[in-house]
Amino acid sequence: MEDLEPAVLAVLRSLVPGEVVTYGEVAADAGWPGRARAVGNILRWTDEPVPWWRVVNASGRLVPGNEQEQAKRLRAEGVPVVDGQRVPLSRIRSDSAGHSRAAQSPKGRSPR
DNA sequence: CAATTGACATGGA
DNA sequence: ATCCATGCCAATT
């Protein structure tokens, strides 16, 4: 599981201003399909300088308890926030702020 | 070791 | 569009 931490951090660091991804997306990108929950757990306790505000759930909903903070930061990054608590995924899946985002699982990584 | 909880995902009501 | 139910994984109690 800790193997996931550095992987997730790397993915988040790879993100670009204006880029928003879902937990499942990050998990899959890190090489762990289905570990979306674990990702969220990490962002919760990790003290690393990870842009957790660029991570939202599959529904486009911001983080519970910090939605205001998220919305504020996202808005500052150029991400259109709706109602100050939601993000239109319609624009996120496919195009990411003008950068290529397609990493697919490099190899079978599931020692479990 | 079993039950519960949670910054998730998907689908149906 | 929102809420509820089920599944999946990991951490806590």
What would the pLDDT profile of A15-39 be if each residue is shown by its tens digit? 988 889 999 999 998 888 889 999 9
Alpha carbon distance A47, A72 (integer Å): 20
| Listed residue (A36, A41, A27) closest to A104, CA to CA | A27
Give the burial string for A19-55 (b: 16+ CB within 10 Å, else e).
bbbbbbbbbbbbbbeebbebbbebbeeeeeebbbbbb
pTM (2 d.p.): 0.84
Query: Measured from the CB, is A44 under 7 Å from any atom of strand C?
Result: no
Alpha carbon distance A39, A21 (integer Å): 12
Query: Measured from the CB, is A89 under 7 Å from any atom of strand C?
Result: no
Measuring from the CA of residue A85 to each C1', which nucleotide is nearest? B7
Query: Measured from the CB, is A54 under 7 Å from any atom of strand C?
Result: no
pLDDT tens readout for residues A34-80? 899 999 999 988 878 899 999 999 988 999 888 888 999 999 998 89
- pLDDT surpasses 80 at A93: no
- Whole-number distance in Å between A46 CA and C4 C1': 31
